[in-house]
Structures are given as C-alpha cells and as structure tokens.
Structure 1
Amino acid sequence: MANEQDKKVDVIEETAVQKSHTGTTLPAYVAEETVETVERDLTITGDDLANAQEIAKELSLDETRTILRNVIKNHENDQNFPIHVLEQMKEFVANEDISAEPAKYQTLIAEMRVEAALIQSDSPYPEVRAVVDNTDDPSMPSSTIRAWTIGIIYVSAGVLINQLFYIRQPTITLEANVAQLLAYPAGKAWETWMPDWQFTILGQRHSLNPGKFNKKEHMLITIMANVGFTTPYTTDIILAQFLPQYFNQQYASHFGYQILITLGTNFIGYGIAGLTRQFLVYPAHCVWPASLVTIALNQSFHTETNLPVAGPFRRVFTTSRLKLFTVAFLAMFVYFWFPDYIFQALSLFSWLSWIAPNNVNLATVCGMSNGMGINPLSTFDWNILTFDQGQSPLVLPFFFWWNSFVGMTIGAFVILAFWYTNTYNTGYLPINTPRVFDHFGEYYNVTNAIDHRGIFDAAKYESYSPPFLAAGYLVVYTNFFALYTATLTWTFLYHRHEVSRGLRNLFRRGQNNVLHPDVHNRLMSRYTEVPEWWYLLVLLASIACALGGILGWPTYTSPGVVFYGIALCLVFIVPIGIINAITGMEITLNVLAEFIGGAWNAGNALGMNYFKAFGYVTAAHTLHFSKDLKMAHYVKIPPRHTFAGQIVATFVATFVATSILNFQMTQIPGVCTANQKDHYTCPGINQFFTAAVLWGTVGPKKVFGSGGMYTWLLVGFPVGVLVPVVVYCLRKRLPKQRWLRDIHPPAIFYGGQNYAPYNVSYLWPGVVVSYISQIYVKKRWIGFWAKVSRSNLSSGGHGAPSNVAQYNYVVSAAFSSGVAIAAIIIFFTLQMQHVSIDWWGNNVVAQGCEDTPCRRLTLADGEYFGPRMGEFH
C-alpha cells in the first residue's frame, strides 16, 4: 500500500515544472506558491531544492517518516534548526491521513521528502550548507612539503611577534586570518616557481611541487597558525615569578623549568580534545559557527565558478566570492584608518556624554569608556562589534546576540542600583572597572598584604585594608557564578541525550559514519582516524612535563593542582563545548578556577596560578583545538594530517615563545616597570599579579566566605540553576510559544559578565547587524545571503565538487582581515613612532568622566570607607 501511495505522490509532483531564478527545474508544487516561498519554507536555495528533489524520488513515505522522526528527536531543542521546518516535520509525522490522501497534502509531502533528502545528503543547517562542500576529492593532497614549510615558517614568525609585543602597551596580536591571507600568495608562488623534484622517504613518494595549491593545504596551514600563534599562558606565571617587583623567584629563569610547564599547559588540551571528539566534533549539531568564516575565506581563494543569484533591490548579483572579498577587504582596510587613527570618535561614539563631559550622571549612564554605555548609536567601528573574542555578528546566531543583550541590559540597571545606593561602598569607586581597590579608594597595593616570600601576612593585611570591587565587577562575578551552574543545568535539561549518545559512542567500536550518519562523517570515513590512545599518550606526556616542572623546582606547590585542574576541565568541557559549538559562545573557567584554586591553595598565589592554568587554560585550549578539528572535518583533511599539524605547530611555537620570553626577561632593561622606555610595561602581567595575590594569597574565603564582604554574590550559583529550570517548565507548558524557544539562559548570564570594562555600547550594535544579516536578509534572500549554486548533488555526497560562494561569511572574513592588516600597519608605522593627530575628533573621546572615571562619593582627608580597622581579619 505504501508503495502505491508513493507512486501517486511521484505522479503528482512530476505533472508540472517551473524554472527557478537560476534556471533550475523545480518540482510541480512550486507553481502553486513561488520559488521564493519554498526557499523560505525550507531555508534552502533553488539549486539545493532541485538537487534534493532528485534524491527525494528514491525515498518512500515510510523512509521519509523515519528520517524525520530522528531529526525531530535530535533537533527539537536545537535553536539553530529552523523552527518552522521543525513544526512542518511534526505535522507530517503525526498526520496519519497523508498516506490515505496524498493528493490533499502534496505540498507538505514534497517539502518533507526534500528536507529528508537534504539532511541525508548535506548538513541540516543552511549556514553550513552555505560554506561547506558536501563532496570530497580524496586525491587532493594536504600534507605536502609546501604546506609544512609555509605553515612552520608562519607559525614561527607569528608567535615571535605575538610573544614579543604581548607585554607592550599598546600591544599587537596577529590572528590566524593574517596567516591565512598570506599563505595564498606564498602557496601560489611555490606552485609557479618551485621545481617538481620527487623523492621517496620511508617508502612514500613526495614531490617538492605537487601541483596546484589547494584548499586542503591552505586550511592545514591555517590550522597550524591557529594553534601556533597563541602566546603561552605560562608567560604570565613565569614573569610574575621571576621579576623582582613581583615574587622575585629567580629559579623561574631556568629554561628547563619554563619549557616543561609550557609544554604541559600547551598539550594537555590536545589530549582532552581528542577524547571528546564524539561529543564536540563528529555530531552534526556541533556547527562551531566561528569556524565557518575561516572556511568561507578559504573557499574564496579556491573556487572559480560563479553563478548569478537574486538579491535585494530586485537585482541579480554576479560578483564572485574572491572579487567580493577583495572589494570588502580593501574598503574596510581604508575605512579602519579613520576610527582607529584619524577620527577616533567614530570608534567610541559616546555622543551623549559629549554634551556635558563633566556631568557625572550623564557620563555614568551613557558613557562608553567609563559608564554603562546606554546609547542607541554608539560606534562606527567594526572592531568594536567584534569585541567579544573577535566574534562577528554576521556569524553567530541572532538568538545569542539578543540573549546576551538582555543579560547586559539587566546588568546595567543592577550596577546603577548598586552605585547610586552605595551598596558595598561602590559609590566611592568608579562604576565599571576590573581593578581592585583599598578602603581609601586607591588601587589595592598587594605588597601591603604579603611578606617577602609573596605569602599572605595576616598582620600586614589587618593593618592595611580588605579588597573592594567596583559595582560593575560585582555584577560580573555574580553572572559568572550563575553562568557556571546554568551551563550544567541547561546541558542536562536540553542536551543530555547528546551527552549520553557521546558516552555510548566513546566506548563503541565502529566507523563514525555509522555512529554519526551525516554526510561529512560518511566522507571522512575514507580516511584513517586518529585512535584515542594517541591523544591519551599526549595527555600523559603533558601531565609528566607539568609534574616535572612543579616538582623539579622549589614551587612549594602540590602536584595535585594538575589533576584537580584537569578534573575541573573534565566536569565542564562537554557542557561548555556543546554550547560553544552550537552558539559560538565561549564560556571560560577563569573565575571558577580562581575561586576554587584560591580556596584550595589559601595563601599560595603560585599554587592558585597553577590550578588556574590546568583548569581554565586546559578547557580553553580544548575548545580551540576541537574547533580546529571540526574545520578539518568540514574541509575533509585526513585526521592524521590534522593531528600532526597541530602537534608540530604547538611544539615549534612553544620553543619559539619560550626563547623570546627569556629575551624579554633578561635583555629588556626595566621590563614591566611603569617607565620602561620602549613601553614594555606589562599591563596584563600587572593585572595577573594582582589577581594572583588577591585570590591566591588573600584568598576568596576572605572575600566570599562566611562573614565575607561579598558573600551575597554567591546567590548567582542557585540563580543559575533556577532560571534554566523555569524556562524549561515554561516551554513544556506553552509549547506553541515560539519566543520561549529562543530564550537561552547561559547566553543571558554570558551577556551580564561582559562588564568591566565593556558595556552596552559594545554589544548593542552587534544585535542590530546580526538581525539584519541572520533574520532580515537571510529570510528574504537566502540565495543572496548564502550565494549558493551547487551542481551534481548525489545521495551519497560523492558528486562533482560544489560551487559555493557565501556572501555573508565572505564579507565577515573580509572585514576582520581588513581590520587586522590595517591595525598592524598603523601600529608599526605610526603608533610605535608616537605619531598622532591632535584634533577634536581624537580628543573628544577622552574628556571629563570619559577620561578619568568619576566617582559619586568622595572621602575627606584621612577618612576611609568599609569595615573599621580591627573589624576585618
């Protein structure tokens, strides 16, 4: 009976045809609506629709239902999956009349068959389909002499520059997209000029010039730069240990000690990333939105075909991705000189506070530098829009930006309430700063609370002052506490099935294309996977290096910090990894690591630093490495090539960075002092040292413990549990309320912890841009937004290579690259030479309270606020 009904459906669908705007033949039901309506219903373009229709003919109604039931189960709570498509699937699966009267439901049947075929042959997400090919050419080389040579050279140069300027003010940081840009001309030059010498090593044939420089080589170089450009976290630890103005521990200058702890912290993340692939890399719902920009840029250089697509203003756009990237890159490169150097008011466009710069209330509410930043038009600087770890509003989903904005707005009113009521004595301090103060309102001088060994001195502390935090920083801590428990609760409520499936798959033997049956895993099944025991060996070797550094020198630190730090990472890595992979939001464990590490290592700042390094840094590295593994997965680089590239790049970068660190410690006179002549004043190290002493030496027990000044901030922990549960119950009670599906409590708390020094002015413009891109343009002109034109799609994903030109992601990559290159040139040619332009457009950003933070209350000479001397311990 089912087969007869399938035949009826096929006849219905094939009775008429209509041409799409790209000239592709589409199924009959499109004539009843419009091409644009169907594209909007399924969030796919005309060519994807036509190709998926060919595959759909092979699917019976029963097969379609089976596929869609699995999709509903896996994506019911997936905020990236189009809700209207999900509701259509539910209607299709639940309606038993469809088999009996197929003619009555021909549009729904056709759409659901197409959607089922699309999910079988491609990604269920239009964002991924717009960027990632669903085909592969296994003969395309990736691990070539060309890729390794360019990659290692760029890694060495990039980490050298980043390490050298890390301690300078202003600093400069080279991102991996710079290496990605420069790798293309280097690869093409190699392709053109290098002779094709061939030779054999260990029985394998190699060529000095394997032919055309391809996208797999290019992406492998980018991945190497991505992991290799990072300045080791141990830079902060070693400088704070060695320099006399800090802890003055001279053994920290030993190269063996430095290299062991650096290798330990750098490689532990690899071990855990490899062991969490079943949770964070292979599943289709782990999109890793930020990686799509990198892939889009990579595709732009290696795709030649370009087809027209309809877009806004009733125009047909024919611009190729490479041309679009070039134009957008040059435009942003030229424009960025204005907000960054020529007309800096365009960047910090705090026009409301310019009305009366010395008005404390106006600057507090509207100021962008030292206030809450409540300003509807706050910046014309793309760099401001990507303030949050470089995340682009064109890339991350709109629900993330909106939820973060809600959290930040709520935080603004709480901060204002604290400050204006002088709660916790915040009225005596600047409203929004990450600095720590004493009871005179001065920066906290940690040397007044420690002895000559850097250990907490109770007598000195009691004769000095407890630490005080600004109103903005209080809200930051409260939101951090809520964020951690909300992450665990949200993951249990909405992602427990994915976690459970990952655990089962972790202990199963089988190919990933069976455990995770999506097109990308099917394509990657051709390549030999990296076994878990390889990653386990990396983990064990890194632990051995870390223990060697801690036990081999007089650190007075328990080796348990390594294992407790790893345990903290293991508890959180899957929940924060899933949220990062779905939303692009990176939840850091730095505050929790300081909180737990400081309580566990009370009085020992170095012990707290190591706990932080092996908890927070391990988790951060694991997330970055997992994102790179997903990029390699999307581009179809053999897993063992990716593994080798990451390991070698990190190893090289570790030795280069450590060598430069020794140069900085011993060859730069007056390094990390306020008046260092070349501006190597180490602002980050100063903050790190203050945090180390405050939370490691003074300890969180005195701040947040029983009887502590800020004990009530711990309410964030239960609030973080309660809010996701309330949202979950509301969604169960009101399943038809679509807006409830877009509420994401971790993102709300994430927005609230962005204060000190940021504020609403930094986040709000991203909400507007994200809405225009992700909602307005995407829904109306999906073809223009994705600029997709595919050919020869087949059910197994083995057709001819796709031709994908993504306008949205190419523009994002071009803007970020233009900012990066312009910033480097401005820094080296002008800022390092102290050349500036003195005029109103640059000076207005630093007037009144926007220059020096204003305070609501002041102290008389000799007075102090807070607990009286002798009342705190």
Structure 2
Amino acid sequence: MAVDADPPVLLSGLTPSTSKQAEDEKAWKSDSGTSINDVVSPEKETPDSDWVKGEPIISTGEDVSNYAVDVRDDEDPSLTFRSLFIGTCVAGLGATVNQIYVFKPVDVPISGVFLLLFTYSFGLIWSLLPTGVFLEKSSRWGWLGRTMRFINPGPFGLKEHAVATLIATTASGGSQAVNNFAVQKLFYDTDVKALTAIFATFSTAVFGYGLVGLLRPLTVYPSEMVYWEKLPTVVTFQSLHWDRSLTSKRLKLFWVSLTGMAIWEIFPEYIFPLLNGFSIPCLASQHASPATRAVFTNIFGGAEGNEGLGLLSVSFDWAYIGSEFMSLPLVQQANSWIGYVICYVAVAGIYYSNTWDSKSLPMLTSSIFNPDSPTPYNQTQVFGPTFTLNNTAFEEVGLPRLAGSYVWSLMASNWAIGGLIAHCTLFWGPYVIASFRSAIDQTQPDRHWVAMNKKYKEVPWWWYTILLAFAFFAGLIVVIHGDTTLPAWGYLIALIMGAFITPFSNLLLARMGNGISTNQLFKIVAGALFPGKPVANLYFGMWSHDAVNTAITLAGDLKVGQYLKIPPRVMFLTQVWGTVFGVFINYAVMASVIASHRELLLDPVGTNVWSGATVQYLNSSAVTWSLAGHVFGIHSKYIWVPLGLLFGAIPTVVQYFIWKRWPRIGPVPVDKIILPLIYQYAQWMTLGVTSVITTTVLTGVISQVYLRRRHPGWFRKYNYLLGGALDGGAQIMLFVLSFAVFGASGKSRPFPQWWGNHQTETTNVDYCVALQ
C-alpha cells in the first residue's frame, strides 16, 4: 500500500459544521476506515479546521500527526544484525569524517539525509545476498540456512533502515568535549589521558540523553512536539520503503529532484559562485565612489563571511537555503521575519550612529580589539604562556573593545534567553503540567503515541535514571583527577544549569522548529565564577551547554522513532550504542590528527588541507569570556549585555497579561507573537554569510503561505518529500566537490575566474568591495 494511497485519519478538532465539511469527513472516513472519534479524546473540545479543495490545511502539530505523517506500522523487524552492522559501519565513517573536518579549512559535516541515503544503498545491496530460506528445512544444512537468514533477513525494511541511520547520526554528531581536549593539547600542552577524555565525553553525551528520557512526556509524546526540521527525513523514509511502484509520483519526484539538485549545485558552489549572493545594488555600484561602495557593501553585501547585512541579496545555493524553510511552521517564520527587519535597522543604526565607537571597527565581526587601535587584542600578553590572567599585563593593555554589531548580538541573545524562560513558563506552563499528567494516566491523544503504546513496551524510567548516575560519576572522576581547573562545585552548577535550561530549549525547538542559543548564558556564568580561568570556562560550557544540545538532538531522534514506530527499547539501545561508539571514534581521530599536524593546527593561517581555526576559536572564546567580569561588569560600557537576561523577560511578562485580557488584537492572536524568537533573529545577520536571507523568506512564503493554504493536498503529499530530496542532492554534491576540487583530499582545484566567479583582493564575489 503506497503512502499517498492511504489517506490519513481526520484531523483532531474537525467539527463538520457545514455540509461540505461533513461530506469531506464522510469521504475520508470511507477511504481510511477511521472515524474522528477514533483519534480524538471525547473530553477534548475540538475547534473548526480549515479545509480547501477537500484537503485540510496543515498548521499545527495535530495536523502533522494526523495528515503529514502516516500512522502505518508494518511491524517489520528493526534491530537486526544487518541494521546494527550497517549502522555501526556508517557511524564509524560519519564520526571519522566529521571529526577530521573539525581540522579542515572547509567544514562539510555529513548530514542526516546523506547518511539516510547511504545506509539505504548499503541495505539494498545487502538484501540481494542469499537468504538461506531453501536450506532451513533441511536436516543437514538447516543450521546454514538459519545463519544465512540471520545475516540477511530479506528485504531491507523501513525500521531496519531507520535504526541503522539513527545509529550513524547519533555517533556522527560530534562532541564539544573532544574539541576541548584538542584545545588543551594544542594551547596548554596538557597530556589529556585517553580514559579521562572518554569519560568526560561519555559523561556529557549520556547526561543529555538521561535528561531526554525523563522529559519524554513533555518533549516527545505530544502531537505539538513536532520537530519540524525532521519531517523531510521522516517522509523520505516512508516514501523510499512504501512507494515501491515504478509509477509512484512521489518516488519519481524524489529521485528527479535529488538528481537535478545535485547537478545544479555544481554551479553555485563551484562554477558560478555569484549565484550564492546575487546583489543588484552591489553590481550597480561598481563605478561609484569608494565611500558609496563601502556603504553598499555594509548594507547589501553578503556573499562572503561577515561582508555585510545582505539586504535584497538573493541566493540560489540550496546548500545554504535548506529544507527547513519548507518545514518550519508559518508562525515561527513570521516571527523570524520581524526579527530580520529589526536586525537590519538596529545594526545599521548602531554602526552609522557610531554607538560604542562602532565606526572605528568593521561593521560585522566577533573579534576583540585593542582599546586604542583596530588591531586584534593582545591576548598573549594579557594571559601569558600559561593562559592565566596576568593582572599587571592586563592593566597595561587595557579592556578589549567589541564591534557594535557584536555587542548587539550578545545583548539580543540574552534577551532571547530571558524571553525563552518567561514564555515557556507563562504561556506553555499549563501544557507542561497536562503533558506529564497524560503520561501518568496513559491518556496521551497523539495517534502515533497510541499506536506505539498498544504494541511495544516503553523504556522504564529507571533506565534513564541509571544513565544519569553513570554520567554524573564519570564526570566527577574527570573533574577530580583531570586537568580541568574546574572545581567539583562548579561541575555541579554546570549540570544543574544544563538540566534547568534543557526543557525550555527543547520546548521551543520542538514546537517551533528553531531553538534559542543558550551557550552564551553558560559562558557569562563561568566567566563570573572562574575569572581568569579559560580552561574552567571551556569545561563549564561543556557540561552545561553540551547537555542541552545533546538532549535536543536525541529528543528529535526519539520523535522520528515515534513517527516510524521503532520500538522504544530498540531506540534506547540504538542511541546509547551510537553515543558510546561515537565517543571512541571522535577521540581517536582527534588524538591522531593533533599528533600528526600539531604545528599546522597552531598556525593562524594553516594550509588548504589542515586548519586549526575551530579549536583556535574555542580557545579565544574561552579566553575572552574569562574576562567577563571586566568586559561586562557593572561599571563597563557593555553592562547592557548581561542585563539583557532581565530585559528579555520583562516584555514577555507584559505580553502575557495583555493576552489574558485581550487574546486577539485585530487579526493577530497575542500568544502567537513569540518574543524570544524575534530577539533571536534580531541578531541573525551579525555574522557569517547573509545573502541567503531573502531567499529563505521567499521559500517560506511559497511553501507555508501559498502551497500550504492554496494547495493543501499537494503540500501534504509532496512538500516535505521535496525538501528531503533537495537537501540530499545538495549535500551529496557538496560532499563530492569537497574532495574533488575544494582541497579535502589534499589538493585544491579552483575554477578559472570569469564574470560569475570573479574575486580579487579588493572585490568580493558579489562585486561589493572587500572592506575587511
């Protein structure tokens, strides 16, 4: 049975108040054999649903659960020798390549879609092996038949594919802990013992997973916990295994789109890089005065890192765009658009009004500068060879200066953190209570959870509790016996903070598809608690922020397991094995690379093959934040940065009381204005490549406004599948190009310069002037 031939059940909340809606319900019930009462709790009051052309408009998590993702469960095997073997092999490849790329000038991490397609190919080839069925009944050769059957159980099913892919993605995710040890080995000449490193990495990863398990009723089970960015992956899984017919429109669309995008990516990535940042203002200003060109670069340039704000630039490079803007809900994207507008106005206003002496420094940069000149801050003199604060040298050099855009970015990030906590507590607090209550009462209405709960045993709470205990003691051993400079009480505070922030971050990301970066909060706290100790800052961030990141990543994978009906206990073993296996691979690769290329990794420039930029940044960031008490102290000019935590929460509290009195203001529901998201995107263009913003907005408008509302049937069947195909094609070609021409294999082969690939020391690829 093909997916698109199996209509989903009715949307929770459909109340057929019109004859048209009643006809739609009757048709859907007739096709699916399921009535609305089969999927809706009778106690729940159900609002009207929007329908167009006999199709529901997918807007909420319930819509996704009931329409976008099929509830079908073929009960095929999941954890087999084949899925475990393929997953482990691909995990080894992914973890190795991702860790190597930490030390490469070109960062091309292996994506989940790439691993999904790789394991699919591996599994299909494996399934061609003899199954031994014809030997099983033989009295003499039955053992051989059973062995062959064990090795190849037959067709490569969806659940085997999902388990193998999830092992690979879990192991390939990488770990900040391993990179911290790289910093110690390179910059502090510390001989980090292998057992210490593995214990620490295991501790951070498993602690995050333990938190995931305890928070499942809140962050995984309910329909509203969608993890929107996972939908292209889920739909791709289902289509590859269920649309087996050669005439399947969905499968044809997938492979044609994947192939077409793979071919197209050669142009913006290699032959015609102007397509990644096509800016008419930049092209039109080539003969303008230097002052005018500088302004145009700051406002309209964006094809190069930290070039400018990228206003009106258009990108045609899907590797930068991505399917998330075809998946993220409209409410999230609408809030992000408000943030973009604020960012354009605020950053340009700060720079051209010379706030914080901004015009004496580049408009966009995260570097720190000497107090009297636009030269990099002399960290070596201030911290000395041991990288411990030298107060005498610090008084001589003075406080570092920050670019105005960087101060704005730090401040807006803190607003987002304060707003995140306030919004989740005030607006979603009742939901949190109801989620745990439904888990205890076994009354969770999500149809995917109901289908899982009827067939498969859940993971006991104590399994996750034991994981947390193992993680805690493994980390404590590292703190006591390792060279972390972090006291045991600091370790406890880091874990408590990570555990406190995790549910807030997880809630927002699961519901909206985009979370809030909370790493800065931990850096500020570590800077205040351990002034002048950059290594302690590194480890504090590792045990707090890494726990948050790991929890969110693994929670999203658990949701994929729920959508695809992977038994919970299999998911537990899958993720634990992927986590532990990845720890060993990551550390072994890191130690090998540093032992072989130490001097190159310490070189600020590096080569076209090896670069220490990532670990150099980690070290510089830790050094900078160890001065937090001086840079962001009560009497400093950047005091507004830490105060942002408070100022970000206050407007949300005011918004809550407005919402209680006036739920809607005109056509806008007040609770749909999500201030932490607005703050997060209000600093979005302060770093990196910004030429993609306009295209992402257009992608969101076409997908979420036009297709979703005008053509809901096409949207339900093809939108997420198309996104997964485009991602797969772009990432496969980018991976190939990185080895073929970008220098990952040892030799770079740049494309000859021409009009569409024109870059000089004074001109960027988008024809704006190179200012920095």
Asked if structure 2 preserves the Cα contact closer than 8 Å seen for 1:240 and 1:689, the reply is: yes
Aligned to 1:260: 199
Aligned to 1:311: none
Aligned to 1:816: 727
Asked if structure 2 preserves the Cα contact closer than 8 Å seen for 1:22 and 1:47, the reply is: no
Aligned to 2:414: 481
- The aligned amino acid for 1:405 is W
1:842 matched to 2:757? The reply is: yes
Structure 2 distance, partners of 1:732, 1:55, is 35
Q: Residue deviations 1:337-369, cap 9 Å, x none?
A: 111000000002233123335421111111113
Out of 837, 854, 871, the position equivalent to 2:771 is: 854
Out of 222, 229, 242, the position equivalent to 1:303 is: 242
The Cα shift of 1:204 comes to 13
Out of 623, 630, 643, the position equivalent to 1:693 is: 623
- The aligned amino acid for 2:63 is P
Aligned to 2:567: 638
Asked if structure 2 preserves the Cα contact closer than 8 Å seen for 1:131 and 1:295, the reply is: no
Q: Residue deviations 1:51-81, cap 9 Å, x none?
A: 479625x79xxx9895442x56xxxxxxxxx
Aligned residues: 735
Asked if structure 2 preserves the Cα contact closer than 8 Å seen for 1:485 and 1:721, the reply is: yes
The Cα shift of 1:629 comes to 0.7
1:329-348 alignment, distance < 5 Å: 329-348=258-277
- The aligned amino acid for 1:209 is N
Q: Residue deviations 1:520-549, cap 9 Å, x none?
A: 222111211111111111111122222222
Larger Rg, first or second structure (1 or 2): 1
Structure 2 distance, partners of 1:496, 1:30, is 31
Structure 1 distance, partners of 2:420, 2:174, is 28
Alignment TM-score, normalising by the size of structure 1: 0.78
Q: Residue deviations 1:781-837, cap 9 Å, x none?
A: 2111112xxxxxxxxxxxxxxxxxxx1011100111111110011110111122112
Asked if structure 2 preserves the Cα contact closer than 8 Å seen for 1:293 and 1:813, the reply is: yes
Q: What RMSD, in angstroms, separates the aligned Cα atoms of the two structures? A: 3.3
The Cα shift of 1:735 comes to 3.4
Change (3 A) 1:155 1:430: same
The Cα shift of 1:241 comes to 0.9
Aligned to 1:211: 154
Q: Residue deviations 1:102-156, cap 9 Å, x none?
A: xxxxxxxxx9xx99xx99xx99633334442223233x11011110010000000
Aligned to 1:401: 333
The Cα shift of 1:755 comes to 3.1
Task: Report the 3-state secondary structure (helix = DSSP H, G, I; strand = E; otherwise coil) of the residue aligned with 2:180.
Answer: helix
The Cα shift of 1:487 comes to 0.7
Aligned to 2:404: 471
Q: Percent identity?
A: 23
The Cα shift of 1:229 comes to 0.7
The Cα shift of 1:322 comes to 1.6
Change (3 A) 1:144 1:367: same
Out of 826, 832, 845, the position equivalent to 2:737 is: 826
Out of 350, 368, 375, the position equivalent to 1:436 is: 368
1:94-105 alignment, distance < 5 Å: none
Out of 354, 359, 365, the position equivalent to 1:427 is: 359
Asked if structure 1 preserves the Cα contact closer than 8 Å seen for 2:65 and 2:223, the reply is: no
Structure 1 distance, partners of 2:123, 2:215, is 33
Structure 2 distance, partners of 1:205, 1:642, is 25
1:515 matched to 2:495? The reply is: no
Aligned to 1:155: 91
1:21-32 alignment, distance < 5 Å: none
Alignment TM-score, normalising by the size of structure 2: 0.88
Out of 778, 792, 800, the position equivalent to 2:708 is: 778
Task: Report the 3-state secondary structure (helix = DSSP H, G, I; strand = E; otherwise coil) of the residue aligned with 2:686.
Answer: coil
Change (3 A) 1:405 1:539: same
Asked if structure 1 preserves the Cα contact closer than 8 Å seen for 2:29 and 2:35, the reply is: no
- The aligned amino acid for 1:808 is N
- The aligned amino acid for 1:817 is G
1:125 matched to 2:62? The reply is: yes
Change (3 A) 1:505 1:613: farther
Out of 173, 177, 183, the position equivalent to 1:234 is: 177
1:49-60 alignment, distance < 5 Å: 50-51=30-31, 55-56=35-36
Change (3 A) 1:351 1:651: same
Aligned to 1:654: 583
The Cα shift of 1:412 comes to 2.0
Asked if structure 1 preserves the Cα contact closer than 8 Å seen for 2:413 and 2:517, the reply is: no
Structure 2 distance, partners of 1:124, 1:740, is 18
Aligned to 1:275: 214
Change (3 A) 1:454 1:47: farther
Q: Residue deviations 1:407-447, cap 9 Å, x none?
A: 12212211122211221111111111122222211122311
Asked if structure 2 preserves the Cα contact closer than 8 Å seen for 1:405 and 1:760, the reply is: no
Task: Report the 3-state secondary structure (helix = DSSP H, G, I; strand = E; otherwise coil) of the residue aligned with 2:174.
Answer: coil
Asked if structure 2 preserves the Cα contact closer than 8 Å seen for 1:194 and 1:208, the reply is: no
1:54-133 alignment, distance < 5 Å: 55-56=35-36, 66-69=42-45, 71=46, 85=49, 125-133=62-70
Task: Report the 3-state secondary structure (helix = DSSP H, G, I; strand = E; otherwise coil) of the residue aligned with 1:602.
Answer: coil
Q: Could you tell which deviates more after superposition, 490-499 or 298-307?
A: 298-307
1:286-365 alignment, distance < 5 Å: 286-304=225-243, 320-356=249-285, 358=290, 359-365=293-299
Q: Could you tell which deviates more after superposition, 490-499 or 665-674?
A: 665-674
Q: Residue deviations 1:315-335, cap 9 Å, x none?
A: xxx852221110000110010
Asked if structure 1 preserves the Cα contact closer than 8 Å seen for 2:196 and 2:478, the reply is: yes
Aligned to 2:552: 623
Aligned to 1:720: 648
The Cα shift of 1:372 comes to 4.4
Q: Residue deviations 1:689-729, cap 9 Å, x none?
A: 11111112x2x111111111201234422331233234334
Asked if structure 2 preserves the Cα contact closer than 8 Å seen for 1:367 and 1:374, the reply is: yes
Structure 1 distance, partners of 2:588, 2:156, is 33
Structure 2 distance, partners of 1:372, 1:745, is 25
Change (3 A) 1:215 1:52: closer
Structure 2 distance, partners of 1:164, 1:466, is 36
Structure 2 distance, partners of 1:279, 1:840, is 53
Structure 1 residues not aligned, in runs of 5+: 1-20, 73-83, 89-110, 308-317, 788-806, 856-873
Structure 2 residues not aligned, in runs of 5+: 137-141
Structure 2 distance, partners of 1:23, 1:437, is 60
Asked if structure 2 preserves the Cα contact closer than 8 Å seen for 1:485 and 1:717, the reply is: yes
Structure 2 distance, partners of 1:65, 1:637, is 24
Asked if structure 2 preserves the Cα contact closer than 8 Å seen for 1:730 and 1:740, the reply is: no
The Cα shift of 1:594 comes to 0.4
Aligned to 1:80: none
- The aligned amino acid for 1:383 is A
Asked if structure 1 preserves the Cα contact closer than 8 Å seen for 2:278 and 2:315, the reply is: yes
Q: Could you tell which deviates more after superposition, 542-551 or 605-614?
A: 542-551
Change (3 A) 1:195 1:745: same
Structure 2 distance, partners of 1:815, 1:562, is 43
Out of 437, 452, 463, the position equivalent to 2:385 is: 452
Structure 2 distance, partners of 1:679, 1:64, is 57
Task: Report the 3-state secondary structure (helix = DSSP H, G, I; strand = E; otherwise coil) of the residue aligned with 2:428.
Answer: helix
Change (3 A) 1:714 1:651: closer
Aligned to 1:417: 349
Asked if structure 1 preserves the Cα contact closer than 8 Å seen for 2:131 and 2:154, the reply is: no
1:549 matched to 2:478? The reply is: yes
Structure 2 distance, partners of 1:376, 1:845, is 23
Task: Report the 3-state secondary structure (helix = DSSP H, G, I; strand = E; otherwise coil) of the residue aligned with 1:393.
Answer: helix
Task: Report the 3-state secondary structure (helix = DSSP H, G, I; strand = E; otherwise coil) of the residue aligned with 1:85.
Answer: coil
Asked if structure 2 preserves the Cα contact closer than 8 Å seen for 1:473 and 1:755, the reply is: no
Aligned to 2:543: 614
Aligned to 1:137: 74
